Amino acid sequence: MLLIFSHFEVIYVNISVMKKAIVVGASSGIGRELARLLVKNDYKVGITARRENLLNELYAENPDSYVVGAFDLSEIDVIVPNLNRITEELGGLDLVVISAGLSGQTLDFDFKVEFESLQINVMAFTCICNWAFRIFREQNHGHLAGISSVAGARGWRNSKVYNAAKAYQINYLEGLRNHAAYLKLPVTVTTIIPGYVETRMKGNNYVFWVAPVEVAARQIYNSIRKKRKIIYTYRRWRFIYFLFKIFPNKLIEIS
Ligand SMILES: NC(=O)c1ccc[n+]([C@@H]2O[C@H](COP(=O)([O-])OP(=O)(O)OC[C@H]3O[C@@H](n4cnc5c(N)ncnc54)[C@H](OP(=O)(O)O)[C@@H]3O)[C@@H](O)[C@H]2O)c1
């Protein structure tokens, strides 16, 4: 708020500047809810995914606050040009959230399925982190948040490639955070580690402590606002993650 004195009158002018964010994987689930929350909190948000119709539905809720970019993360060469275009349309960049992910479960060692999962969860993930970090380093501010999973704690026999990729994400984000800290860069890196969240990805699996997507998104938004380094949603998953880490392998074998 700025006060301007003019002919003995006091005029209040609202000069709050909208922050700019990109949510990668905003067509459904956590990314979609998070994009909505960011908009409610005065962000202008670039939303990306493949399902353009769903992105357009979100856009229609508040056309002044969204920029749409529909592209496939498995086409590695199109990622950076699309992100650059969205950033240009937004008029800057303060925050990047990577919510896109693919489970890639295969019980009969179908390499095509594993490869597709790695393309999204490892190659595209790294490409976006690398792109965002270089921008934030150059402009001397910015916040990168990546959504990993408690699955990253250990290797489960039914979801080997997903768990391995989620462990990669946790370690890659830690490396970026350490890089920023070592060079004293004012760049924040947040690692988000959800347990189960009620989304398409969770599917019909019978699991426990499932967070409604709105709750998970709110906890993630709050952690971003507070510039936290690592968060678990629900918070109690932190202890499960720790237990997974120290469980003897015999227990992991049957999980
Ligand atoms: N739900 C859970 O229980 C749970 C638990 C732990 C971690 N997570 C993590 O949370 C993140 C969000 O998942 P979610 O639960 O919200 O599931 P979701 O609703 O399936 O969201 C996944 C998002 O990724 C996008 N995506 C997938 N493949 C893509 C591709 N090739 N190109 C572009 N975008 C692509 C999807 O968009 P399009 O299909 O439109 O392209 C969608 O917007 C994921 O990283 C997931 O691993 C979820």
- If pLDDT is split at 50, 70 and 90, which confidence band does 13 have? very low
Q: Is the dihedral of CA 223, 229, 231, 236 positive or negative?
A: negative
Mutate to test the pocket of ligand 1, among 32, 48, 50 (most ligand atoms within 8 A of CB): 50
Distance, CA 128 to ligand 1 centroid (Å)? 15
* Cα–Cα distance, 69 to 85 (Å, whole number): 9
**Would you say the CB of residue 101 lies under 6 angstroms from ligand 1?**
yes
Percent of the chain with pLDDT over 70: 93
SS3 content of the chain, % helix, strand, coil (to 5): 50, 20, 30
Residue with tokens 């003995």: 8
Instruction: Quote the CATH superfamily of domain 19-253.
Output: NAD(P)-binding Rossmann-like Domain (3.40.50.720)
**Is the pLDDT score of 104 beyond 80?**
yes
**Would you say the CB of residue 146 lies under 6 angstroms from ligand 1?**
no
> Which protein residue has the closest C-alpha to ligand 1 atom 16?
29
Q: Which atom of ligand 1 is nearest to the CA of 24?
A: 34
> Which protein residue has the closest C-alpha to ligand 1 atom 34?
49
Distance, CA 153 to ligand 1 centroid (Å)? 19
pLDDT for position 65: 98
Show the tokens assigned to 242. 């720790």
Distance, CA 59 to ligand 1 centroid (Å)? 19
Residue with tokens 């890639």: 104
11 membership: H or E segment, kind and range: strand 9-13
145-197 pLDDT, tens digit each: 999 999 999 999 989 999 999 999 999 999 999 999 999 999 999 999 999 99
Task: For residue 190, report the phi and psi dihedrals to the nearest 5 degrees.
Answer: -115, 130
Q: What's the whole-model pTM score?
A: 0.94
Distance, CA 1 to ligand 1 centroid (Å)? 38
**Is the pLDDT score of 2 beyond 50?**
no
Instruction: Please enumerate, as own/partner, the contacts of 110-117 that have beta carbons within 8 Å and a separation of 24 or more.
Output: 113/161, 114/160, 114/161, 116/74, 117/161, 117/162, 117/165
* Cα–Cα distance, 238 to 202 (Å, whole number): 19
Show the tokens assigned to 183. 């060079």
pLDDT for position 16: 53
Mutate to test the pocket of ligand 1, among 201, 213, 215, 220 (most ligand atoms within 8 A of CB): 201
